[in-house]
Chains A and B, each alone.
Chain A
């Protein structure tokens, strides 16, 4: 298969970027999207040009490192998959593919397609944990947790922190990410203890970091590679508002 790639190139955070066009040829349909970029990069190196910088690591859809806005969609055309899980058979032979970095004020570009997502770390540092010390805990089976609650907690905990939600949201809102963490912990008795404090602290941090406001479009859940539902956003709203009304 042959493709024309329109890729965003940007030297560093301060420089102005622009699209550049590349051609890749003889790509097998079984090649993954990132392998296709590897092939392009190897060609570029041979030509003495700088390869395209992009984030990636596990290539199994779990580390959350890969990003990319491909033909207008975060993580490309597959539903419930990350960029590293897309295979070239998803594209038409001869297609032109536009590849852009995440675009959100809170995720500034570092280089080419690489962005800085440390804002997500900061939100979690604000309260996305249960304050237990190592070794000062009861037996694992001391508190039974209804299977339904554990499952729901797991649904939310599937978040890989890739940033697709904020990157795809027209408002640049990180609500799905924040909600996934708040909700995952709020569904467990262990997490209930500081649930209200957590919701308030994380929302405050999210606001402080310049993320936008959720307007319930649901674009985040449509593009989430882990298909996390906005039902968790509703739970975050509930947690947050009830906490505020108790203040």
Chain B
């Protein structure tokens, strides 16, 4: 039984779809809103803004997060900025241009209607955030400043120093606090959703674990919203926070929600290279550094050797012996090409033997030219904190020697499939922000994640959820003593008991590192049929190993981090295989998904619009069963997919 996919994209001209849709969908009266309960899982930009907005509208909202405070969600770590089509710089920006850049940046694998809506509400986000007291950077005249970002030729990125994500999240968190104080939202920090409860085919609530006491709790609601972010930590090493995980989304998939494009992973080009096998986390250096930094490797292999051995310093290499390979390959965008392009280009140089550190997996990001042109002071003003951070981590002073960078897993474009209303294939179950399969297609542009999280939470979901809830105004409070809740809770308890009883020899991290290694080698920046098949076999074996040999210490009814990690890893071990399967089936290269078999003569991604212009939506069939894939065709009515060109 294949999934029934109805994207519910409204008819009409692109620019009128959203307004028409808003006019057509139903609303719920204030008196009825009071009777309706909504659960929101996750408090990042999507979750916090949705909870605040829905609480404000009068719904009863329960909001859950695994951290000790809603403010700590990983949206907080976004550095660079947030895009909006304000055209404040008068550089001919427009909603259409932002839409076009985003759909092109995503390599034509996103829905036109969704992306256009995203661009359309982007301006409202900036207005909203300013009113909330987000201290965006300003010019001397007191008006908002902008910077440029990868994948765009206009300056449309709003920013708050290198802490834009933090400031936007604090804005949404403040709005959430306002509603918590007003009593319309109840917050459950240090709670993890472990299962979704489905009754009569509709979402009815969640099973959550109190992470302090270990208690298993039941929470019922008329609608459930998943806002739990991405699953990049399947790679073990990524720029995601340590606790970021795919488990909430995966439970939805397990219970029947379609999971779309799981293989679309973004590898961010500017991270600090891996230094050893005991590392737990990779550190991102803001993409904004590419505004002034130039990326290069030596032209001559003997220089590479000399640098690796320490015989030469990078600054000793003469200008003519440097290969500024992005500027060479993409003259029009230069160092500001989209992330997937920059990452792959770095990999290409390193594969050719030009990697500049001992592991051969690093390229230079150099500020020499910028310092000569603008002066050290200006560079310090712009990037001082980033430079300090780099020096603290690596013990190298980036004012004197170039930074070393290498791509790392950063963001997952794939996620739970949603229709135009952001509802999954399960009625009453919604997914927003990075958790859904999103508007970014096969590659997300910089400064667009924040835009999408807030667009979904502030300006889309609060309207579209009303359309579903308007059918629920007669429904009584959801009872949690039903069979569906009993079964879901029993499943969770059994899973926990099983994990604690294995008592094998390997720690959760040992196995997670192995999974990460399989994923990075075979489902990473470049994928082949062979590597993906290998990954599937190896992950299956590793999953068996996990369920036989993992050692989870501690007790069930306790603050037990090992248990939390084990539960998350159990899901990653299935999700990893799903990613590989999706990548295997997609016989083309697009955005973050690069199949080595499918490239142009110049080594660029070669898309196959004839056969693969669709979203691959997967349906769960059981842990060791092959999932079933259904296609949601992508119809491009308004833009014409072309090979992305960042050369001229």
In their complex, do chains A and B touch, with some C-beta pair under 8 Å?
yes
Give the distance to chain B from A54, nearest Cβ to Cβ, in Å: 9
Closest B residue by C-beta to A85 = B392
Contacts A48-B553, A57-B72, A130-B133 given; does A34 touch B127 at CB 8 Å? no
Q: Which of B158-166, B493-501, B515-523, B528-536 contacts A (4 or more CB under 8 A)?
A: B158-166
Interface residues of B in 544-579 (CB under 8 A from A): 551, 553-554, 558-559, 561-562
In the bound complex, do residue B77 and residue A58 qualify as a contact, i.e. CB atoms below 8 Å apart? yes
Interface residues of B in 254-313 (CB under 8 A from A): 275-276, 278-281, 283-284
In the bound complex, do residue A124 and residue B143 qualify as a contact, i.e. CB atoms below 8 Å apart? no
In the bound complex, do residue A157 and residue B130 qualify as a contact, i.e. CB atoms below 8 Å apart? no
CA distance A99 to B178 in the complex (A): 36
CA distance A147 to B144 in the complex (A): 9
Contacts A130-B131, A134-B53 given; does A60 touch B67 at CB 8 Å? no
Inter-chain contacts of B359 with A (CB < 8 A) = none
Inter-chain contacts of B395 with A (CB < 8 A) = 30, 87, 89
Closest B residue by C-beta to A27 = B278
CA distance A80 to B160 in the complex (A): 19
CA distance A35 to B551 in the complex (A): 20
Most buried by B among A12, A57, A161, A187: A57
In the bound complex, do residue A190 and residue B551 qualify as a contact, i.e. CB atoms below 8 Å apart? no
CA distance A182 to B65 in the complex (A): 25
Closest A residue by C-beta to B141 = A144
CA distance A134 to B243 in the complex (A): 30
Closest A residue by C-beta to B68 = A117
In the bound complex, do residue A60 and residue B77 qualify as a contact, i.e. CB atoms below 8 Å apart? yes
Q: Is B181 on the interface with A (CB-CB < 8 A)?
A: yes
Among A63, A110, A129, contact of B77 (Cβ-Cβ < 8 Å): A63
CA distance A117 to B190 in the complex (A): 11
Q: Is B136 on the interface with A (CB-CB < 8 A)?
A: yes
User: Please, how many residues of chain A have a CB less than 8 angstroms from a CB on the other chain?
Assistant: 78
In the bound complex, do residue A12 and residue B278 qualify as a contact, i.e. CB atoms below 8 Å apart? no
Give the distance to chain A from B504, nearest Cβ to Cβ, in Å: 11
Give the distance to chain B from A120, nearest Cβ to Cβ, in Å: 7
In the bound complex, do residue B178 and residue A190 qualify as a contact, i.e. CB atoms below 8 Å apart? no
Give the distance to chain A from B68, nearest Cβ to Cβ, in Å: 6
Most buried by A among B128, B138, B505: B138
Inter-chain contacts of B167 with A (CB < 8 A) = 154, 157
CA distance A110 to B509 in the complex (A): 23
Among B126, B133, B136, B505, contact of A184 (Cβ-Cβ < 8 Å): B133
Contacts A31-B278, A62-B163, A135-B128 given; does A185 touch B510 at CB 8 Å? no
Among B136, B181, B243, B558, contact of A12 (Cβ-Cβ < 8 Å): B558
CA distance A53 to B392 in the complex (A): 26
CA distance A138 to B123 in the complex (A): 11
In the bound complex, do residue B135 and residue A153 qualify as a contact, i.e. CB atoms below 8 Å apart? yes
Among B67, B131, B505, contact of A132 (Cβ-Cβ < 8 Å): B131
Q: Which of B169-177, B346-354, B466-474 contacts A (4 or more CB under 8 A)?
A: B169-177
User: Please, how many residues of chain B have a CB less than 8 angstroms from a CB on the other chain?
Assistant: 84
Among B175, B276, B562, contact of A134 (Cβ-Cβ < 8 Å): B175
Q: Which of A37-45, A166-174, A232-240 contacts B (4 or more CB under 8 A)?
A: A37-45
Inter-chain contacts of A85 with B (CB < 8 A) = 389, 392-393
Interface residues of B in 135-163 (CB under 8 A from A): 135-144, 160-161, 163
Among B278, B551, B561, contact of A48 (Cβ-Cβ < 8 Å): B551
Inter-chain contacts of A210 with B (CB < 8 A) = none
CA distance A111 to B562 in the complex (A): 14
Among A59, A87, A161, contact of B281 (Cβ-Cβ < 8 Å): A59
Give the distance to chain A from B174, nearest Cβ to Cβ, in Å: 4
Inter-chain contacts of B41 with A (CB < 8 A) = none
CA distance A80 to B278 in the complex (A): 25
Q: Is A246 on the interface with B (CB-CB < 8 A)?
A: no
CA distance A63 to B69 in the complex (A): 10
Contacts A132-B131, A132-B132, A188-B133 given; does A42 touch B67 at CB 8 Å? no
In the bound complex, do residue A133 and residue B71 qualify as a contact, i.e. CB atoms below 8 Å apart? no
Interface residues of A in 94-145 (CB under 8 A from B): 110-111, 114, 116-118, 120-121, 124-135, 137-141, 144-145
Inter-chain contacts of A147 with B (CB < 8 A) = 138-140, 142
Give the distance to chain A from B64, nearest Cβ to Cβ, in Å: 14
Interface residues of A in 45-72 (CB under 8 A from B): 45-46, 48-51, 53, 55-65
Most buried by A among B52, B161, B177: B177
In the bound complex, do residue A135 and residue B72 qualify as a contact, i.e. CB atoms below 8 Å apart? no
In the bound complex, do residue B135 and residue A154 qualify as a contact, i.e. CB atoms below 8 Å apart? yes
Interface residues of B in 84-104 (CB under 8 A from A): 86, 88
Q: Is B633 on the interface with A (CB-CB < 8 A)?
A: no
Query: Would you give the 0/1 interface string for B24-66, flagging 1 where the beta carbon is closer than 8 Å to chain A?
Result: 0000000000000000000000000100110010000000000
Q: What are 30 of the A-B contact pairs (CB < 8 Å)?
A: A31-B276, A31-B278, A38-B509, A42-B509, A45-B507, A57-B242, A58-B72, A58-B76, A58-B241, A59-B280, A60-B77, A62-B165, A63-B73, A63-B76, A63-B241, A65-B67, A117-B68, A125-B180, A126-B181, A128-B177, A135-B124, A135-B459, A137-B127, A140-B86, A140-B136, A144-B142, A147-B140, A161-B71, A188-B135, A191-B133
Nearest 3 A-B pairs (CB), nearest first?
A: A144-B142, A137-B131, A129-B174
Give residues in A with beta carbon < 8 Å to B: 12, 28, 30-32, 34-35, 38-39, 42, 44-46, 48-51, 53, 55-65, 78, 80-81, 85, 87, 89, 110-111, 114, 116-118, 120-121, 124-135, 137-141, 144-147, 150-151, 153-154, 157-158, 160-161, 184-185, 187-188, 190-191
